[in-house]
Structure 1
């Protein structure tokens, strides 16, 4: 009996020690805006490397999905290109807003198109369907093919608020994915759409608007007016780990070494600010 008792005690000791040695895995889910998705994915990889046992599950789905999912408590963080109060059906008072950076939205065309610049009025008329051929804006005799983002897209909302001046966008082919938009533009002569700056590569051609390029300095000085904040929303009593991850993204190291390198802009560098109505004002002292 004594030997049996010692054996049981030994087994209990082993189980306790094994349990103490295990690392409990934690997961938080981040869903929403495709414009902020590349940043969230890059930051999540670094964060998980530095915090063993923590996994950040990043998904797209668009701003509308991000806001509705965080409001319902289905996810830990909802990514958005818009202020929550701009989205119908969202109770912004129940959420906590963290603006993590600024992103520029840029009109893009097929790279073979011989057009470099449009006025804001021309851009508006193209997406309203009032200009339908590139020869009407100094280009070749070629029909304009509009590729739009889906109606729940925050990128689309930002573009329409910044460009359309309450004019209705022409019904056209719609895409949920920024990557798919880029691919279609690359393969379709005469096509035009718009992308967040982190998605732009050599497959497509960017356009100037009113002679201004979508550079970092032009966005900082509001000479390029098609830009928005990237938001991460959490619930007021959400998982503390979600707030820790957001604080990590807002840290100086990540802002300098990840945010800027991916062509987002740290908010601290902006000379102008926007409110939830789209009103832009110069930041005092800058």
Structure 2
């Protein structure tokens, strides 16, 4: 009888050890949500070029953890992302603007996921000779009233404007918050990609354009402008001191599911929000001390 009890006790202990080992291993492998099964499938993400570097970097990290998942990240502008996700052409549409701000977009059919905040500012070729500009003068530059940098204390050089297309969320944000709604003068060079804008500002004498903070790196070859003496920094955006910023939205058509949900959950994870978001030049949404609605009204959190 004692021998049988000993065998029974050993069997129970072995079973407990197996269960404990299985529980301990759960979440050490698999997808970003800690599931034992790796995420799989394929989705396309399109839209904001200002947001593209962050989403592309996150997609690469996600795919390293989930080799059976394929996430293609494309640019094209916020309008393109919103149109394509509302039509079902892509699973996630990235935008620098609220869907309600884009005419023809069925915002009530889309689900908004605010991934981060992006600061933006005007930037010039380093040879222009200025590092700060008033908002009043900035408006004059982009509306064509001021045509030479010497009028603003810079080099005697003709101003070369570089613009973004109407579909661009970066353009919409810049026009709304930097130019007080005034549209840039017609005839300016228009580029689809923020990467191209950065390259042209660097290479074109007298050039000025506008970009997200993420493009203002030490080796970018361009000079970001302060506005009315306020530097374009994350801290100034967070405190509501610098006016040109926007939420980085990832929209889905209704509630996300499957791979799109797993990827968006990963985008909001501590790994991305605490590390990749600031590394890529963006601001975690939960670090903001102010908030802004679709009409542009700013209030304290």
Once the two structures are superposed, the pairs formed by residues 32-43 of structure 1 within 5 Å of their partners are 32-43=47-58
- Residue ranges of structure 2 left out of the alignment (5+ in a row): 1-37
What is the number of residues matched between the two proteins? 261
Correspondence for 2:205 among 166, 186, 189: 189
Q: Secondary structure at the match of 1:49?
A: helix
Residue from 182, 199, 222 that aligns with 1:204: 222
2:247 to 217, 229, 250: 229
1:277 corresponds in structure 2 to 295
> How far apart are residue 24 of structure 1 and its match?
9.3
Question: Under a length normalisation based on structure 1, what TM-score does the superposition of the two structures give?
Answer: 0.88
- The CA deviation string for residues 50-108 of structure 1, in whole angstroms up to 9 with x for no partner, is 12301111111110110000000011100000100100000111010000000011111
SS in 1 for 2:162: strand
Q: Please report the TM-score for the alignment, with normalisation by the length of structure 2.
A: 0.84
Q: Partner residue of 1:123?
A: 138
Inter-partner Cα distance in structure 1 for 2:182 and 2:55: 33
Task: Measure, in 1, the Cα distance between the counterparts of 2:183 and 2:276.
Answer: 36
Cα shift at 1:136: 1.1
8 Å Cα contact 1:111/1:205 also seen in 2:
yes
- In structure 2, the residue matched to 1:55 is 70
Equivalent residue, structure 1, for 2:34: none
8 Å Cα contact 1:273/1:280 also seen in 2: yes
Work out whether 1:108 is the aligned partner of 2:123: yes
1:256 equivalenced with 2:290 (yes/no): no
Deviation track 1:247-280 (CA, whole Å, cap 9, x = no partner) reads 1111112111100111100011101111001111
- Assess if the C-alpha contact under 8 Å between 1:76 and 1:239 holds in 2: no
Name the structure 1 match of 2:191. Answer: 175
CA contact (8 A) 1:81 1:231 kept: yes
RMSD: 1.3
Cα deviation for residue 181 of structure 1 reads 0.7
CA contact (8 A) 2:81 2:93 kept: yes
Alignment partner of 2:163 out of 123, 148, 169: 148
List alignment gaps of at least 5 residues for structure 1: 1-22
Instruction: Note if contact 2:127-2:155 (Cα within 8 Å) is conserved in structure 1.
Output: no
Q: 1:87 aligns with which of 102, 110, 113?
A: 102
Partner of 1:14: none
**In structure 2, what is the equivalent of residue 16 of structure 1?**
none
Structure-2 change in CA distance of 1:237 and 1:214 (3 Å): closer
The yes-or-no answer on 1:219 pairing with 2:234 is no
1:208 and 1:101 map into 2 onto residues whose CA distance is 22
Q: Deviations over 1:6-25 (max 9, x none)?
A: xxxxxxxxxxxxxxxxx995
How many Å separate the matches in 1 of 2:235 and 2:256? Answer: 36
